[in-house]
Structure 1
Amino acid sequence: MHRDDGFEPLEPFASLRDVCSSALTIAREGSPLDNWMAARLEGDALVVEAVDAAGDGAPRVAERLPWRGTIGHRMAVGDCPYVVADVGAVEAYADRPCVARFGMRAYAGVPLVDHHGRLFGVLCGWSGRALALDVAAHEQRMVLAARVLSTYLALRARLDAVERRAEQAETASRTDPLTGLANRRGWDAAIEGGQRKLVREEASAAVVVADVDGLKHVNDNVGHEAGDALLVQVAQVLARLVRPSDTVARLGGDEFALLLDGVHRSQRNEVLSRLREALHAAGLQVSLGIACAERGHSLRRAFAVADARMLQDKAVRHAQGEIPMLCPMPTRHTA
């Protein structure tokens, strides 16, 4: 975005790789070293994040270098100098495989630590020839660059923690704590998303309402723990029957709902039969109703129709004696 005062707004670093590249710019300012690298430690490997190097043999971004074969490893675990005119003159460095591979002679490096003080990686520069380096100047620039990286890591970690907590809170607010299914808030979000899909695509969806028969009787005569176990069992059966693109929710009490993506009205009976068979095989008595919606139709209207059909199913099963008469018919609320 252009500003009339001639100043352009500063864009924040978009990634660790971006901030590593900027750290290299700081570190190499005024240095005779012509190869620079920033890398992070990942297990037994040093993963290259940024490179500013000459020659075909330079490390590549995303390349994984054996950590124990680097000067950085010896520098991090031992009392070794950060800046040397010739690595061949430093016994701890001379035999490192990276020295031969990259033709290192003059070297300057600094360990990178995260906000907990744990080793995170290495920032280093080198030349293919021995050089008389200004130790103080190199250490000053590298420490500054390392602080930039460490500060970024600290801020990124804090932001990640805040985002994780927000995601966890959002997930919890949409999750039924007993069954682990979506709750009514999660269901409403799924319906809204499904409705948007119906508007923009030639799509269809089915809504199923399921009501557990006899839950009050179980709670009153066996106990709420048994009633909760019954609800969990129903939830597990329903969850096993759906795809990742579908939603199963417990709307409250003994009522469940399913939003089934891509189900056409010609498939309603097949879907209901599959649900009934699975619930019956698990020894569960559940009344069911289904309705479908296609492009331009309302999923909330489909829910109301499915809810009415579930009540019809329950009434028929009451009349046929499939549901004991001591189990009362439910009172309904709107979706």
Structure 2
Amino acid sequence: MDVITSGDRVPALLTFERACALVLDHLASVLPMGLWAVTQREAASQVFLSVRDEAYGVPAGAVVPWDASLCQHMTTGASPQVVADVGADPVMAGADARQAFPIEAYVGAPIRSAEGELFGTLCGFNPHRLDAAVEVHRPLLDLLASLLSQILQAEGLRERAAEREVELHRRATTDDLTGLATRAAFTDRLDHALALHRRDPRPLTVVMLDLDDFKDVNDSLGHEAGDELLRHLADEWAPLVRPGDTLARLGGDEFALLVHGSSGGDVVAARLGEILAGTYSLTGTDLRVGVSVGVAHLAVEDTTPTAAELLRRADAAMYAAKRAGKGRIVTHDEAVAAALARLPRPTGVARHDAAEVAGAAR
């Protein structure tokens, strides 16, 4: 039994382009023709994808009308796949392609997609008639065309799988409504920042932002108006975020900002507050939208907390801002920490009702 060791090289997947080249090389050695080609039908055109040409001067990438081709008659069954004497075939004899090229012999087989639709052809042309015994090569031609079909289908499956993976990653990391980062993406980046802080201490800040009385917007103007407001705010806030920092929508009207650096969090939080201090026109109604902001700094000398703990600090500061009258910025400090310490610790990243924080602070 052969054993694959760690030093053995795993062969790369055979691409459709490479498979075409190998198939044409083999056919050219087994049955010399003036031209061997793999073509693709694109609407009303026939595109020569891969070519081995000894007689016609047709380059890869050449495009001819599909209706003028001999391949169209083969794929519809009007003519056979192997025609040793094209002039004797009642359909192919009058094909427009013969006006441009001296094609006296033809062989071809269809290449199909995973859905069974015609993709193109594996075909050969010759400027001279061939012996009728050329029919013996038809099984090989069919086999190689089938092989190309399977490789084409496998490549399509790989491409669709890759596209799905990209889309799944996009959905996991990008909020559909606002285009900001998602909670999952924010937590992942915060975990990474905290790992760096643990290994090579550097300051960072988490800012929690919660719109004041957002429920009233949804109740009075409808959820579409609320979504419009969230999109507007995201568009206003995003340009204020420095490269390397992360602004995320955690869900509903909850946002979070991860800022690398010593004082950037306060500066950005204050700027965000200034934007929301004004009046925003929404569906013909002027609204004054407020935001309560909680800031949690992590200094170089601080012990590295978990992501859940740092978010909890920022969240508690944000609720302290709401308790103080809303539309304010509160930084997590000993007073907020003491109030937070009197609350039951959640098992995960959870938010507490404002009344809980207020009661704990009394």
Deviation for aligned residue 1:79: 1.7
Letter in 2 for 1:186: A
Measure, in 2, the Cα distance between the counterparts of 1:271 and 1:25. 66
Contact 1:38 1:49 in 2 (8 A): yes
In structure 1, which of residues 227, 232, 236 is the aligned counterpart of residue 227 of structure 2?
232
- Which residue of the partner structure matches residue 256 of structure 1? 255
> How far 1:259 sits from its partner (Å)?
6.3
Relative to structure 1, the CA distance from residue 74 to residue 267 in structure 2 (aligned partners, 3 Å threshold; closer, same or farther) is farther
* Rg larger for: 2
Q: Report 1 or 2 for greater relative contact order, CA contacts < 8 Å, sequence distance ≥ 6.
A: 1
Aligned counterparts, 1:170-249, within 5 A: 170-174=169-173, 181-189=180-188, 209-215=208-214, 222=219, 226=222, 229=224, 232-241=227-236, 242=238, 248-249=247-248
Give CA deviations for 1:61-101 in whole Å, capped at 9, x if unaligned.
x3333322221122223421212223333343244443344
Classify the secondary structure of the residue corresponding to 1:136: helix
**Alpha-carbon distance in 2 for matches of 1:99, 1:271:** 74
Aligned-pair CA distance for 1:55: 5.2
Tell me which of 270, 274, 277 is aligned to 2:275.
277
TM-aligned CA deviation for residue 59 of structure 1: 2.5
Question: Could you tell me which amino acid in structure 1 is paired with residue 291 of structure 2?
Answer: V
Contact 2:273 / 2:291 at 8 angstroms: preserved in 1? Answer: no
Q: Deviations over 1:123-172 (max 9, x none)?
A: 11112222225343221111011111121133233434444444444444
What TM-score comes out, normalization by structure 2 length? 0.63
| SS of residue matched to 1:277 | helix
Q: Considering only aligned residues, what root-mean-square deviation do their CA atoms show, in Å? A: 4.9
Displacement after TM superposition at 1:209 (Å): 4.1
**Within 1, Cα distance between the matches of 2:101 and 2:154?**
33
Deviation for aligned residue 1:234? 3.7
Q: C-alpha displacement at 1:211, in angstroms?
A: 1.4
State the Cα deviation string for residues 240-269 of structure 1 (Å, max 9, x = none): 343698865221453213569x99978986
Shift in Å, 1:122: 0.8
Instruction: Using the TM superposition, name which of 116-125 and 43-52 deviates more.
Output: 43-52
Deviation at 1:189, TM superposition (A): 4.0
* One-letter amino acid of the counterpart of residue 17, structure 1: E
Residue in 2 aligned with 1:123? 122
Q: 1:233 to 1:21 in 2, by over 3 A?
A: same
Name the CA distance, whole Å, in 2 between partners of 1:75 and 1:236: 56
Please state if 1:137 is matched with 2:136.
yes
Q: Does residue 1:99 correspond to 2:98, yes or no?
A: yes
**Aligned amino acid, residue 11 of structure 2:** E
Distance 1:10 1:312, change over 3 A: closer
Q: Does the 8 Å contact 1:84/1:107 carry over to 2?
A: yes
Paired residue total: 314
Contact 1:23 1:148 in 2 (8 A): no
| Distance (whole Å) between structure 1 residues aligned to residue 149 and residue 43 of structure 2 | 19
Q: Does 1:81 align with 2:86?
A: no
Displacement of 1:178 after TM fit?
7.0
* Partner amino acid, structure 2, of 1:150: S
Write the deviation string for residues 186-216 of structure 1: whole angstroms up to 9, x where unpaired: 22345578999xxxxxxxx997643111246
Aligned to 1:46: 46
Identity percentage over the alignment? Answer: 27
Give the drift of 1:19. 1.6
* TM-score normalised according to structure 1 size: 0.68
For 2:217 and 2:253, locate their aligned partners in 1 and report how far apart those are by CA, in whole Å: 11
- Listed as ranges, the gaps of 5+ residues in structure 1 are 197-204, 321-326
Task: Check the 8 A contact 1:26/1:145 in 2, yes or no.
Answer: no
Question: Can you give the 5+ residue segments of structure 2 that lack an aligned partner in the other structure?
Answer: 196-203, 281-286, 299-303, 329-352
Amino acid at match of 2:230: A
Q: Distance in 2 between matches of 1:101 and 1:193?
A: 65
State the one-letter code of the partner of 2:107. Answer: A
2:343 corresponds in structure 1 to none
2:190 and 2:46 mapped to 1: Cα distance? 46
Partners of 2:177 and 2:209 in 1: CA distance: 17
* Whole-angstrom CA distance in 1 between matches of 2:133 and 2:8: 36
User: Do the aligned residues in 2 keep the contact of 1:26 with 1:142 (CA within 8 Å)?
Assistant: no
Instruction: Determine the C-alpha separation between the residues in 2 that align with 1:93 and 1:104.
Output: 10
1:51 is displaced (CA, Å) by: 1.3
